[in-house]
C-alpha cells in the first residue's frame, strides 16, 4: 500500500476516543501513561519518571509523534488500497488494540470483503466500555462518519496517577 497518513480529522477523532491527561497516570492495566495514550513503549519521555505537566499542545505533539508508528503498521498490514476514512478508522483501532497485523478485520479487508471487515470491528469488545468507540470506528470505516466533532475530554489525574473521570472537561481540537 502506498504511504498514507492519518488525516487531521482522523487524528482529532482518535484523540476524542482516547481523551487527554496532561500529567502521568496509570491506565486501566496499571501502565504509566501520559497525554494521549503515550507509554514508555513509544519512547521518550518515559511517563513513569515524568513529574511535570504537559500543555495541551505538548500532549498533541507527543501524540502526533507516536502516531507515526501506528500509521506505518497499518500500511504494512493492509494490502488493499484504502479510502482516507478507512485508514483513519484502522489507525484508531490499532492505536487501541495493537492488533492490526493479526485482526480478522484485516484478513477480511485484504481478501476484498469490506463489509465483513466493518463487521469485525465489533469482535473487539472488551472491556465493555470500549463498545462505543468500536461502533464509532466501525461507522468511520464503513460510512466515513467522524463522530467526535473535533473535541476531546481533558481529565485531571492525582500525583499517584489516578484519573478523575468525573471531572473531565471537553476541549476543542480545532487547532490540530
Q: Is the pLDDT of residue 39 over 70?
A: yes
User: Does residue 99 lie within any of the structural domains?
Assistant: yes
In this prediction the pTM is 0.94
Domain-embedded: residue 1 = no
pLDDT given for residue 3 in this prediction: 77
Could you tell me the CA-to-CA distances from 58 to 45, 61, 92, 176 in Å, in that order? Answer: 12, 5, 20, 11
pLDDT of amino acid 1: 46
Q: Look at residue 3 and tell me if it is in a domain.
A: no
Average pLDDT over residues 26-33: 92
Check residues 174 and 118 and name the one with the higher pLDDT.
118
User: Domain for residue 141, yes or no?
Assistant: yes
Q: So what's the pLDDT on residue 24? A: 97
Supply the CATH number for residue 146's domain. Answer: 1.10.530.40
CB contact at 8 A, 25 and 39: no
CA geometry: angle 10, 132, 54, nearest 5 deg: 55
Closest of 105, 100, 18 to residue 63, by C-alpha? 18
Host domain of residue 125: 8-172
Instruction: Check 27, 61, 113, 119 and give the catalytic one.
Output: 27
pLDDT of residue 28: 85
Is 18 noted as a catalytic residue in this protein?
A: yes
From 9, 13, 18, 71, active-site residue: 18
How many domains is the chain partitioned into structurally? Answer: 1
pLDDT digits (tens, 9 = 90+) for 124-160: 998 888 999 999 999 999 999 999 999 999 999 999 9
Amino acid at each position: 500500500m502506498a504511504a498514507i497518513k492519518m488525516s487531521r480529522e482522523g487524528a482529532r477523532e482518535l484523540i476524542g476516543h482516547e481523551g487527554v491527561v496532561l500529567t502521568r497516570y496509570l491506565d486501566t492495566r496499571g501502565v504509566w501513561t501520559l497525554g494521549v495514550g503515550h507509554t514508555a513503549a513509544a519512547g521518550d519521555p518515559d511517563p513513569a519518571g515524568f513529574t511535570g505537566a504537559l500543555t495541551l499542545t505538548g500532549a498533541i505533539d507527543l501524540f502526533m509523534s507516536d502516531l507515526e508508528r501506528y500509521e506505518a503498521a497499518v500500511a504494512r498490514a493492509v494490502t488493499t488500497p484504502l479510502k482516507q476514512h478507512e485508514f483513519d478508522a484502522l489507525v484508531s483501532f490499532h492505536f487501541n488494540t495493537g492488533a492490526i497485523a493479526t485482526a480478522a478485520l484485516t484478513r477480511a479487508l485484504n481478501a476484498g470483503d469490506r463489509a465483513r471487515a466493518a463487521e469485525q470491528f465489533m469482535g473487539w469488545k472488551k472491556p465493555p466500555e470500549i463498545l462505543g468507540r468500536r461502533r464509532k470506528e466501525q461507522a468511520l470505516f464503513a460510512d466515513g462518519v467522524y463522530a467526535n466533532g473535533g473535541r476531546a475530554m481533558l481529565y485531571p489525574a492525582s500525583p499517584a496517577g489516578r484519573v478523575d473521570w468525573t471531572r473531565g472537561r471537553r476541549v476543542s481540537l480545532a487547532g490540530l
